[in-house]
Amino acid sequence: MTTPTVCPGPCNNAWRLAEAKLATDGTEHDIPVTWGKPVHCIGCVNRTRAKLAELPELIVAIGLEALHGTAPKATGTIGRIHIPAWPGQASRLLTDHIVGGLLELEDDIRELRRLRHRPGRGTEAQNAVGAVTFLAAHLEWALVEHPAAHEIHDRMSANPAAQITGWHRAATRFTRRDARLEHYRVPCPRCELLTLYRGDADDYIECRNTNCQTLLTPAEYHDHTKRLADQTRMARAT
Ligand SMILES: [Zn+2]
Ligand SMILES: [Zn+2]
Q: State the ligand closest to the CA atom of 206.
A: 2
Q: Ligand 1 centre from 47 Cα, in Å?
A: 9
Each residue's pLDDT tens digit, 146-204: 999 999 998 889 999 999 999 998 898 888 776 567 888 899 988 888 889 887 667 78
Strand order in the sheet with 215-216: 181-184, 196-199, 205-207, 215-216
Say whether pLDDT at 77 is over 80: no
Q: Quick check: 92 and 174 in contact, CB under 8 A? A: no
More confident residue, 220 or 82: 220
Listed in sequence order, the DSSP H helices in 26-138 are 42-70, 86-112, 124-137
Per DSSP, the three-state class of 112 is: helix
Give the pLDDT band of residue 237 (cuts 50, 70, 90): confident
The model's pTM is: 0.73
Neighbours of ion ligand 2 (CB under 5 A): 188, 190-191, 207, 209, 212, 214
Give the model's pLDDT for residue 30. Answer: 85
Q: How many other C-beta atoms lie within 10 A of the C-beta of residue 17? A: 18
